[in-house]
A and B are shown apart, each in its own frame.
Chain A
Amino acid sequence: MVTAGPLPPKPAVTRPTRVRDTRGRRIFRVVNTIVLLGVVAVTLYPFVNVVAQSFSDEQAIREGRVNLVPRGFNLDTYEIIAADPVFWNSYLNTVVYTVTATLISMVLTTTYAYVLSKRHLKGRNLLVGVAVFTMFFNGGLIPNYVLVSELGMKNTIWAVVLPNAISVFNLLVMKAFFESLPKELEEAASIDGLNTYGVLLRIVLPLSRAVIATMVLFYAVANWNSWFSAFLYFDRADLFPVTVYLRNMISGATTAASVGSSAGDEAQVSSNIKSVTMVLTVLPIIGVYPFVQRYFLSGVMLGAVKQ
């Protein structure tokens, strides 16, 4: 599964140095490259292995012959999964939940962070405290469940998109970013006749594309991967996102097996079906990364303010 590490937007351009590297630095570069290549290999291998398995013959997987290259290449498993309406229904659910949840999260986080970034705001510390409080304390599983049920959100999309819509970590990152924007730009905008909303929408947000892109990525990946709230609040299989479908398939095996019980009911899904499902599930997220990357522009505001 894909997880995003923190990717803070780069503030400034690093210029290539013309100075000859010292010996120590060259050694560092070599060692660094080797270590990082090692990390790449370790992280990439399981994924390439799963991709290889997804195109392989089941017999070859059973015999443990599939490593990096598919053996007994075929697309049969993809055809089986592509013909499975349950899978596509879950997939569609995931897309809908992810888009809606990301949208809601972005609107709430951006507006909250922008308000918090204003130092003259009365009660600002209280508002920050309220948010930070939830990083350390929460109601717990059963109270949350009771709350969502009592609000009538069970078995609706709201149960997965509303709770935890604001990630406090993301909120603080955005707040810090807004705080670092030059005050003069906003002052200039208001002198030119923009009200608060105009300043936010027409000045601040266009200047914040880098942080917004980062936040969209964080939220989208988290929402795409999340399964727990859907598992808690949905009682019908046709509402499940693809992650719940996948999880049931992968970790259902042999957990309840015990001698003397209905062994015939043991869950065993063949390896190639599992791997195809995994590949199809992570594909969109992998596909999104390169496109979001181009928003990680820096230097947009270079020279905007003369001091």
Chain B
Amino acid sequence: MRTKWKRLLVVLAVSGLAVACTGESESGGPVDLSGKRVGAMTDYSAGTRFTATEPVEFSLLYSDHPNYAIKDDWLLWKEITARTNVTLKPTVVPMSDYEQKRSLVVGAGDAPLIIAKTYPNQEDAYVASGTILPVSDHLDLMPHLKSKIEQWKLQPELNTLRQDDGKFYLLPGVHEEVWQDYTLAFRTDELTRLGLTTPKTWDEVRTVLRAIKAAHPDTYPLSDRFEGKSILATASQAFGTTAGWNYDNAQWDEETQKFEYTGASDEYRQLVEFLRGLVAEGLMDPESFTQKDEPAISKFATGRSYAISSNAQNITRDYRPALANIPGATVAKIPVPAGPAGDVLATTRLENGLMISAKALESENFVALMQFVDWLWYSDEGAEFAKWGVEGTTYTKDSTGKRVLDPQITFNGINPGAPQHLQEDFGFQGGVFAYGGSTELLRSMFTEEELAFQESISGKEVVALPPPHPFSDEEREQATLWETPLKDFTQQSTLQFVLGDREMSSWDAYTAELDAKGAGQYVELLNGAHQRYRQKNG
């Protein structure tokens, strides 16, 4: 039995490869769309709702969130069909291993037409196989997306998605404005008690931590969660580099007009020295970089620490309830602190988005598919629908345009205790459909507190994006060989420096080790790719 299986397997593997190869899309020239317009609207334009002229069905790779497990009877599905005549057929994948299954189905040539929840640059790995549609060839079918690109001036961001052939393969989620959710949260009652003001720069953060340390010598004032990746990411922006969650092996040097290796840059060194100082002075718990979230929260909840990284949801879901046993304890996010690089934010307006399977182009419903995607993910109506649901059922709108959730429905602190949940029982505000969008819509569900936080960062200067540097297939293969070991080594050494396990005097030895691991060659490759892009695109 096993032999038969294996033989069959070999045959199928070979034929599978053959299928994958024939899927390669031909490049150049406008794509002939005749015969692919079944169900599509002829008068579809920005501001129009997409309704298929006949019932159509599209498959969708769906990331199933443990907090709101997928249900077939969600109003979301019914209303999508009611409005657009489209029935979505989700392939349900547990969120925990979504990326693995995505690679598998794309690699096996079995991908659904719409592949959701893909972050910028995650599409790179699939480009060479030809299984993903170069969506930039078909933007004409997507009037809402086009108008957003124009209105919000998204072209520089989109350029960062371009591959070596000048096309991009991801339909990203797009924000009207840069925004940031993560920063530090402080025990504000303690700040008031000690007569401290909210810190506005990282130097002030250190000063405040010192004052707390003076009042509580036996504690670490800052004991962080997210394995330190959040504070690294937040602080790195103000230091003019990238680290933690945001870490990128290369960063753009405006002066020399060249890429340099991030982990060896002066800015990165400054950031490392700053954090090293916090740890050395006993202001930051050395366990911040290794402990799980739970112990970090429990330290914060029991008065053993006074600061911790946070997003808006962490405040309401983790810290406030956990602090219930300390009378008078209050907690709030501080505005993202400024640093040596100024009062800046260095995040992108791109968000996770969609890939379209190359097989879609063979479908007679191709045009309808693109129009549908354009309406649901990029039109104002689609975005509002995915986030708030159906007007009159899940929410109401008053004369000023302010939306109010139905009192029977709860979400994220709105209508606590209501019997139904906007995500769990209706499917709206789900991560696959609702993200990005206009600032007005994004803020429409924020609490007063979060609105104030967003106001506090809206005056920040936004750092220009690094220029595009698309790799050719061979270059990418080579780069991938370098990237992971370099990143691992950098992060490991960062930790050693920050925790004091390694002396700063060995920094030069560390950069030499980076070069030995190919950092120099990697940066050279990147600069070469960037030069080529400049020559091609002016």
Contact = CB atoms under 8 A, between A and B. Distances in A.
Query: Are A and B co-members of a single complex?
Result: yes
Interface of A: 58-59, 61-64, 86, 108, 130-131, 133-134, 139-147, 149-150, 166, 231-232, 234-237, 240, 244-245, 247-269, 271
Determine which residue in A147, A252, A260 has the highest number of CB atoms from chain B within 10 A of its CB, and name it: A260
B182 A259 contact: yes
Interface in B1-18: 1-3, 5-6, 8-10, 12-13, 16
Contacts of B233: 258-259
Interface stretch (B205-213, B293-301, B470-478): B293-301
Interface in B317-357: 317-318, 321-322, 324-325, 347-348, 351-352
B366 interface: no
Contact of A264 (B10, B13, B108, B313): B313
B293 to A, nearest CB: 7
Given A240-B94, A262-B352, A262-B431, 5 more contacts: A61-B294, A131-B2, A145-B105, A256-B119, A260-B347
Top 8 A-B residue pairs of the complex, sorted by shortest distance between their CB atoms: A64-B298, A260-B347, A143-B13, A248-B94, A265-B431, A263-B181, A62-B322, A235-B91
B322 A248 contact: no
Contacts of A252: 65-66, 94-96
A169 B291 CA distance: 38
Contact of B412 (A62, A142, A262, A264): A264
Contact of A261 (B13, B119, B312, B434): B119
B226 A254 contact: yes
Nearest to B117: A256
Nearest to B347: A260
A178 B111 CA distance: 47
Given A64-B302, A146-B16, A147-B8, A258 B246 contact: yes
A92 B234 CA distance: 45
B528 interface: no
30 contacts: A59-B322, A59-B325, A61-B294, A62-B298, A130-B2, A133-B2, A134-B2, A139-B9, A142-B16, A142-B104, A143-B10, A146-B12, A146-B16, A146-B110, A166-B2, A232-B101, A235-B90, A235-B93, A237-B64, A248-B64, A258-B245, A259-B180, A259-B347, A260-B181, A262-B436, A263-B182, A265-B430, A266-B313, A267-B66, A268-B67
Given A252-B95, A261-B119, A63 B13 contact: no
Contact of A231 (B101, B109, B297, B412): B101
Contacts of A258: 119, 233, 245-246
A146 B322 contact: no
Determine which residue in A131, A232, A259 has the highest number of CB atoms from chain B within 10 A of its CB, and name it: A259
Given A59-B322, A64-B298, A247 B16 contact: no
Contacts of B6: 134, 139
Interface string B237-249: 0000000011000
Interface in B450-472: none
Interface string B79-112: 0000000000011111111000100110111100
A35 B95 CA distance: 41
Nearest to B436: A262
B70 A237 contact: yes
Given A252-B94, A264-B412, A145 B110 contact: yes
Task: Determine chain A's interface SS by DSSP, over half rule.
Answer: helix
Contacts of B428: none
Given A62-B322, A237-B64, A255 B96 contact: yes
A59 B318 CA distance: 10
A86 B12 CA distance: 36
A265 B311 CA distance: 11
Contacts of A253: 293
Contacts of B10: 139, 143
Interface of B: 1-3, 5-6, 8-10, 12-13, 16, 64-67, 69-70, 90-97, 101, 104-105, 107-110, 117, 119, 178-182, 226, 230, 233-234, 245-246, 293-295, 297-299, 301-302, 311-313, 317-318, 321-322, 324-325, 347-348, 351-352, 412, 429-431, 434-436
A140 B16 CA distance: 13
Contacts of A255: 96
A61 B318 CA distance: 12
A235 B93 CA distance: 7
A265 B422 CA distance: 13
B108 A263 contact: no
A141 B91 CA distance: 19
Nearest to A163: B5
Given A146-B108, A244-B94, A268-B317, A63 B246 contact: no
B347 A265 contact: no
A86 B69 contact: yes
Determine which residue in B12, B110, B294, B325 has the highest number of CB atoms from chain A within 10 A of its CB, and name it: B12
Contacts of B3: 130
B66 A249 contact: yes
A165 to B, nearest CB: 9
A271 B230 CA distance: 22
Contact of A267 (B9, B16, B65, B104): B65
A59 B324 contact: yes
Contacts of A61: 294
A63 B301 contact: yes
B295 A64 contact: yes
B66 A269 contact: yes
Contacts of A266: 311, 313
A63 B325 contact: yes
A119 B305 CA distance: 71
Contacts of B90: 235
A169 to B, nearest CB: 14
Nearest to B345: A260
B245 A62 contact: no
Nearest to A86: B69
Determine which residue in B6, B119, B226, B351 has the highest number of CB atoms from chain A within 10 A of its CB, and name it: B6
Contact of B321 (A62, A131, A248, A254): A62
A263 B313 contact: yes
B325 A259 contact: no
A29 to B, nearest CB: 38
